[in-house]
Chains A and B, each alone.
Chain A
Amino acid sequence: MSTSTIMKNSLNRAAMGGLLLGGFLSIAYAQEFIQDLGNSTVVAEQSTETILDGLRKDEELQAEKLDRKISTTIAETIKNEPDIAIRSMGPAAARPVIKGLSGNHVAITEDGSFCGDMSATSPDHAVASEVLTAHKLRITRGPQILMQSFATAGGVIQVEHNDIPFEIARSQGAPTQSAAVSNTQIHGYIADYAESGQPGFATVIGASGYIQRLSLKGELSARNMSDMKTPKGSLKNTEIENKSIAIGAAYTFERFKFGASFRTFYSDYGIPGGFIGGHPNGVDIELSKRDLTLRGLYLPAQKSSDTLSVTFRLNQYHHTEYETKEYVGAEFAVNQENVRIEKFIAQSGPFFGIHIGGEFDIRSIEMGGYVFTPPTNSYAASLFSVASLNGWRNGLEITLSARLGGVLFRPRESVVADKDAIEDRNFALWAIAAEFSQRVAPGKFLTLDVFRTTRAPTIKELYNQGPHLAAYTYERGNHKLDAESGYGAELEFRDYGEIINWRAAIHSTWFLNHLAPRATGDTNWSQILPIYQVSGDDALLMGANASIETAAETGFYAQAGASYVCGFYQNENWSDMPQIPPFHFHGEIAYIWQHVRAGINTEFALAQNRVDRYEQRTPGYITFGASLEFHWSLKLAHYSIVLRGDNLFNANVRNHLSRLKSVMSEKGRNVSILAKAEF
């Protein structure tokens, strides 16, 4: 049976995906799978992950695939991935939504640890991470979610900066089975991005190298973009100014590796104004984040793949919202410390790819200005484990995972808070997931995920009681809220053929006490703001997604994907849930030469008429785009230029998940260029 190169790449990835930690062990089915498709070049002794996880790694955005999609924010960059939508409030304040779930249902991590910002708590809070500095973006699905979060119904967006340059240290350090060893002594990169839809630029320059056993990394980035241009004209107060600095070091000493990194991120961006209750000129938000990360790895002599890692992250986040240049509307200061211990075992008994670990987290949040949440300390602890096994049935792999823990909230007295609402709250949390992946024929997989999801209410959901000017809402928490929980399942089919690869999935989650702020229809007349109240309701969320692409590495290429989700509250009418994205489709046709790729694409969303009480309907849209890419290598350096035209016919696009949709179109015609060099 003949197989395309791309297919071989996928299969190699499937079998070799566990190389990161040097492991690889026993995945008889991977070998069989490869042989089925005629690839005998890969010899897989053992694996540290399932075939499915290996295939999922093919879907990560990195290298040219990431360059092709890079945009203003992380959310904008991954918006056409399956099940992804964008919750936004202007171009800077954009956060990914997964399967219609937003906020704390979607965790964002940077280099494996939490991304310390407040983007989950409010739509006007930006994600404190510069997308241009990401080397890889991965959407974690399935049981692996429980390694980072209790919210298995949602997902985890993993951003990799590689701030601690362990990969370089490895080449000089302890022995490893990894084939991904680089002999390069100095690695550098520079990338520049510019666009017309929000005129401005973004740039990143970084370098890493090693001196004997010491590896170093340094990186600078800057973004400066002016007001966004919509089909209705320029939208005032949507400018973005970001800066980031990262330094990191890794040191290898016998069977130990030590690493440290420091990353600082600063952003100054605007939220447009002129809406009911909002400031006429909008709100300016300044945020800064500092992350100190220390990481230690121990590689046992007898089995260097069975690593023990300890990670400590100290995070300081400061956020100020200015109504005018001198008036502070809101201020937040967050200090968070997190310790994560994780043991990886390549194989033990019938299990392989075992992760066992624990996390302890202390978080203190202070508020100032016009914020009506009491300062609160929280303490969280959790244990997690993920393990896979096979051998019960030909072609069946099972992954089991669990996360068990709790969180304690300790609010402090405050002049702004309702005295009765200042109540200590404790939540015990547990979530489990199981994934059954059956190879039903060569290159064909049927996968069933079943899970229990949960999450504790946030500080804001529990204790907030007042206006949020930047979000143009008056928000009421409820200190009596219980934890959210739910049970769900997802059924997926994947087919890797000679000419095309396709996958389709359906999913459903039954939520018990789904926590969400819902418009009450009332108004706070002092501030003239609509009142949103956090409520816990039983709800059913269902959806489907499908994608298809050709397998050829050169020549004609086509790809298409669509996602749909709907949600209902359990009441007499099974009323619709709020903030559910409409049906979304994205398709692309391209032709690929050795160094050049040219394509055209389209994206459309249907109107969203399934809305919650007091929520506005949103019309559908269709946009067309084109892209032209050049990639080539010359004298030890790799160069890329990506030219992209989005929304070429200047369509009036309204995002259903934008708080500003009633008065604000999304970006209009946009021509962008990314130029990148790596050496």
Chain B
Amino acid sequence: MKKIHFLAIAIFTFIFAACGDSNSTSTEQHEHFEVEGWTLYSAEWDTLYSVYRGKEVSKLPGLKVNANCMSAHIHVKFLDENKKEIAGPNDNEHSLGWEVGNKKILDIEWEGGWGFHLKGLKEGETTLILKVKHHDHADAKTPEIKVVVDKALDADKCPFQEDEDHDHEHEHHHEK
């Protein structure tokens, strides 16, 4: 009978020990960057695309690039709840993210900051969703933005050459 007592105690102890590990979250909660709209500017600070509270502004040029070519730099700005333009967060926690509908048609070239280049891969139409990435998730995102990739051009005939982009970056200081 003593053996059974001992066995019972041992089994109960084992069962109790099985639940001994701690249980806590491995990720932290973070403040998030909330915006109500997005505006995309060309390298010359012409408005290419704008959306506020889900409504896209019509009669804007939109996003275009030729296949085989890279677009000029596109600046990203945000609109707050009062439709006032604000810059993206200036910290190490947030960065620009994107999701391309058809990766065979379009790619994105990003060199840091709140801007990017379109890179046409194949003639056609696709969609682009831009995001404000914050650690592992997105704080904000655009609706699907239509992107047109026009016919392919030889590299030397592309409207934008890479060194031009750098010139524009240095020349233009957006005051909005």
Q: Which residues of A contact B (CB under 8 A)?
A: 211-214, 216, 247-249, 251, 258, 260-262, 264, 280, 290-292, 294, 314, 316-318, 323, 326-329, 331-335, 366-372, 414-416, 466, 469, 523, 525-528
Contacts and interface: CB of A to CB of B under 8 A. Distances in A.
A331 B35 CA distance: 24
A261 B12 CA distance: 8
B145 interface: no
Nearest to A289: B23
Contacts of A291: 19
Contacts of A527: 138, 140-141
A260 B7 CA distance: 13
A318 B35 CA distance: 31
Nearest to A250: B8
B19 A290 contact: yes
A262 B8 CA distance: 15
Given A249-B15, A280-B99, A316-B19, A415 B31 contact: yes
A328 B1 contact: no
A290 B23 CA distance: 10
Contact of A528 (B4, B33, B54): B54
B58 interface: no
15 contacts: A214-B11, A249-B8, A251-B8, A260-B12, A260-B16, A327-B137, A335-B23, A367-B29, A368-B27, A370-B137, A372-B32, A416-B29, A525-B36, A525-B52, A528-B54
A252 to B, nearest CB: 10
Given A214-B7, A258-B12, A528-B54, A323 B26 contact: no
A318 B23 contact: yes
Contacts, number: 120
Contact of A366 (B15, B25, B53): B25
Across the A-B interface, give the 4 residue pairs with the lowest CB-CB distance, nearest first.
A368-B25, A368-B27, A292-B19, A316-B23
A260 B11 contact: yes
Contact of A416 (B7, B11, B31, B138): B31
B34 A328 contact: no
Interface string B45-80: 000000011100000000000000000000000000
Interface size, B (range): 35 or more
Interface string B120-145: 00000000000000001111110100
Indicate the member of B24, B99, B141 with the most A CB atoms within 10 Å.
Answer: B24
A261 B8 CA distance: 12
A331 B26 CA distance: 8
Interface of B: 1, 4, 7-8, 11-12, 15-16, 18-19, 21, 23-37, 52-54, 99, 136-141, 143
B8 A369 contact: no
A125 to B, nearest CB: 16
Indicate the member of A212, A332, A414 with the most B CB atoms within 10 Å.
Answer: A212
A663 B63 CA distance: 30
Contact of A333 (B23, B33, B99, B141): B23
Nearest to A469: B137
A469 B31 CA distance: 16
B164 to A, nearest CB: 34
Given A292-B19, A327-B136, 10 more contacts: A248-B15, A262-B15, A323-B137, A368-B29, A414-B29, A469-B137, A526-B34, A526-B36, A528-B54, A528-B143
B19 A526 contact: no
A331 B27 contact: yes
Contacts of A314: 19
B29 to A, nearest CB: 5
A117 to B, nearest CB: 13
A267 to B, nearest CB: 16
B32 A416 contact: yes
Contacts of A248: 15
Given A251-B8, A333-B24, A415-B29, A369 B36 contact: no
Contacts of A328: 26-27, 136-137
A586 to B, nearest CB: 40
Nearest to A373: B29
Nearest to A315: B19
Contacts of B19: 262, 290-292, 314, 316
B15 A247 contact: yes
Given A249-B12, A316-B23, A328-B136, A262 B18 contact: yes
Contacts of B53: 523, 525
